[in-house]
Structure 1
Amino acid sequence: MLDWHGSGMSVMEMSHRSQRFGEILEKAMDGIRSLMHLPEDRSILFLPGGATLQFTLIPMNLMSGTRRAEYLVTGSWGEKAAKEASCYGDIAIINAAKDGKYTSVPDQDELEFDPLADYVHYTSNETIDGVEFSYDLDAAGIPVVCDASSNILSRPFDAEKYALIYAGAQKNIGPSGVTVVVIRNDLLDRIPNGLPPLFDYRNIQEHGSMPNTPNTWAIYMIGLVCDWLKEQGGVEAIAQINERKAKKLYAAIDSSDGFYRGYAAPSARSRMNVTFHLNDEALEERFCNEAEQAGLNGLRGHRTFGGIRASIYNAFPEEGVDALIEFMKEFAARNG
């Protein structure tokens, strides 16, 4: 925090153009490349603005051919991404909500895509609805773009299947304030000329993610998180832990005789965001209040969704899941 490797400077004080920070930047990129098993023809970019900024940058950079793209929407974040992209071209939405609800994802063999689309976009895990894809989308040669903000590094991704993966860091990679973009290098040749330099993936790649001063502290922390993940055994090992945590919690919901009701279809249940409801809003409010008193925080569902949401990202300990399950059993016994 105060003195990086005897330099007398914090990472936040040193020049981003210095050799010291160059080593920090390389460490973060190498960590991501190693953990995700990225091919050599992928570039790793660090950008500001959160994943939400990418909703705009992706069509600006990639909708340069037919100016058509397809958005496979399975939740609130996919909706937002499609809405932003519609400002830049013709957007076809696949799998629109039924009755305003997203509870499942389509099977791969149910999907057909426009072969002339510039790209296909989807969100691999929807944090608000608690819906997650269990497979890597294949669009039969059309470039696949994935918002993996909430489940990147939580399970293996087949990087060969993706033209671009982007993720806000704050769930599983590091602190908020930096977004990771993994882009296949041939896409850089498609980028139209004349984009603002800080919005141009090609320019950002050519400047090593530093066309201006990046979030040096967040990038430093990404390197440390990658070290921690390697100590756990890598993404493959953390995926097994995440699977075990989620199965325990869903089992507690399913065995409650209807006191707790899971939201997502069993085939699409998120391993990162477990969403469920109780019989009425007053009971849900009591559940959250008493949970907080028991030291279990952050269980209220998203303000647009309601209900209960337990987010159990990589760093959330299994002991915390066990404590929540015990509280759920005790609360149901008193209020059932």
Structure 2
Amino acid sequence: MTWLVTGGAGYIGAHVVRAFRADGIDVVVIDDLSSGKAEFVPDGVPFVQANLLDGGAVRRALEGVSGVVHLAGFKYAGVSVDRPLHTYTQNVTGMVSLLEAMADKDIRNIVFSSSAGVYGTPKDEVVTEQTPPDPQSPYGESKLVGEWLLRDQARAVDLHHTSLRYFNVVGSGDPAVYDASPYNLFPIVCDLLSQGKIPQIYGTDHPTPDGTSVKDYVHVADLARAHVAAARALDASKTLEPVYNLGSGTGTSVREIMDAARRVTGIDFTPAEGPRRPGDPSRVVASGDLATRDLGWQNTHTVDQMFATAWEAWPNKP
């Protein structure tokens, strides 16, 4: 049993690779290193440096593989508004290229890294898999199209698939792997604190208990284990739902994260406060009940543990 992890040199992908190996599953990585880091790929893991648009490279990477975890793609929702064609090329055309190569190699199992971005700004208090998709960026739309491609390809060939929709992925399961995204809250806070600067809260007038926005945060190690569970289920020919949300059902506020950062780092700071950013929802939280039922998935880390592992792995902390 060997699985290909596309985007396996990225922050999330590298954790998925480690989770598969810890579970005794061999892996191969393909990544073009546009945002991933070669040093995130563990020693001994076969690594193909290529973009999924390179069909020949994808077919070579698929040799001897029984399934695929597909994480590779352009992931910046805000930037996707300014670069829609690039986003669709990487995320939609790239998926087509991958599925064509899988069909040629008669590989029938795939776990897709989708996104809570398919929901846009949902009105539901707690998002479930029945919440209607309403993507509000080319990134979210491209992820939804990816799910449609899997659905339609499964009608045409014997393809077994599931898509995991998740929200804010945080923390680290290995001090050698960290989130370097300039758009994610945890690395922004780590970066500012490491420079002796003060993080800022945008919006303190939300209709939430402490006035700051509440979102779902999932520890990356928990997320990685969900991919392993889905892969094992597909490999055992178990029927899975087409999509699963990976969420806490409760969420964490921005102020709670700032409080955790203060406790974990020992840096005494009071966050600056500014107005809401346009379009920033007050609350986006998802239920993970279906994933718990079928994949045995749980979000096992507290907010302090999440931030502590992110801070431990942060490369520039004082």
Q: TM-score by structure 1 length? A: 0.31
Q: TM-score by structure 2 length? A: 0.32
